[in-house]
Amino acid sequence: MTDPSQLDPEYDRHGGFPEFEPADPGPGFGRFIAAMRRVQDFAVSADPDRDTWETAADRAEELAALLGPFEAAEGVGPANRVPNLPGAGSLLMAPYRMTKFQADGVEFTVQFSRFHVGGNSAVHGGVLPLMFDSMFGMVIHATGRPISRTAFLHVDYRNVTPINVPLTVRGWLDRAEGRKAFVKAEMTDPDGKLLAEAHGLMVRLLPGQP
């Protein structure tokens, strides 16, 4: 990976992006994220009685009150900054695990759960563009290109994406033309069957662009 400032002297001025340095919030954060993922699953699948829902709401409100005073700016909290946790400790992303991060390609494994179901035990189609968009950003970072934003993202759904199955996602830089980076990615199941593939355009930000 090259120093992006060598490609773009204005790199540090693009939109004021915060520096996302790795965080070490302690083991409690990992336990919290794991528990919250289970809560997300139950939030879309549980069917208890009314009293249980009242109790669950009380506890959720207590948790919100506990964490409320500690709300921090982007890039300050540990979410998305703990590489050794699934999804880097972000609930926004499905719990992926990085297996390759090189200039010639990025690869991670991911397993979707009940929270991601759109219907008939299949992952919601809208979840996959989020995953591919994140992969595209990882590819840009791995290749050492300057900060970029997604100009377009196209997804082809080849087969139904299952839950509770470890899947592999691969992404790579197809070609670069000045500020433009054309990126591709694919997702396969354990047998190598193609589930979805994507291609997109990432454009380097100009000075001052958010």
For residue 128, the domain's CATH number is 3.10.129.10
Is 147 domain-assigned? yes
Q: What are phi and psi of 119, to 5 degrees?
A: 170, 145
Q: How confident is the model at residue 59 (pLDDT cuts 50, 70, 90)?
A: very high
Check residue 21 and give its pLDDT: 83
Is 194 domain-assigned? yes
Cα-based torsion angle of the residue sequence 123, 126, 131, 137 in order, rounded to the nearest 10 degrees: 170
Instruction: At 146, list the tokens.
Output: 């300057």
Full residue range of the structural domain in which residue 63 is found: 4-204
Nearest Cα neighbor of 165 from 98, 92, 109, 97 is 109
CA distance 4 to 84: 25
Percent of the chain with pLDDT over 70: 90
Tell me how far CA of residue 20 lies from CA of 6, 43, 78, in angstroms. Answer: 20, 30, 9
Is 160 domain-assigned? yes
Is 94 domain-assigned? yes
Is 209 domain-assigned? no
Total domains in the chain come to: 1
Whether the Cβ atoms of residue 4 and residue 11 lie closer than 8 Å to each other: yes
Is 187 domain-assigned? yes
Is 210 domain-assigned? no
Average per-residue pLDDT for the chain: 92
pLDDT tens sequence across 77-101: 999 999 999 999 999 999 999 999 9
The count of other CB atoms within 10 Å of the CB of residue 198 is 23
Whether the Cβ atoms of residue 155 and residue 183 lie closer than 8 Å to each other: no
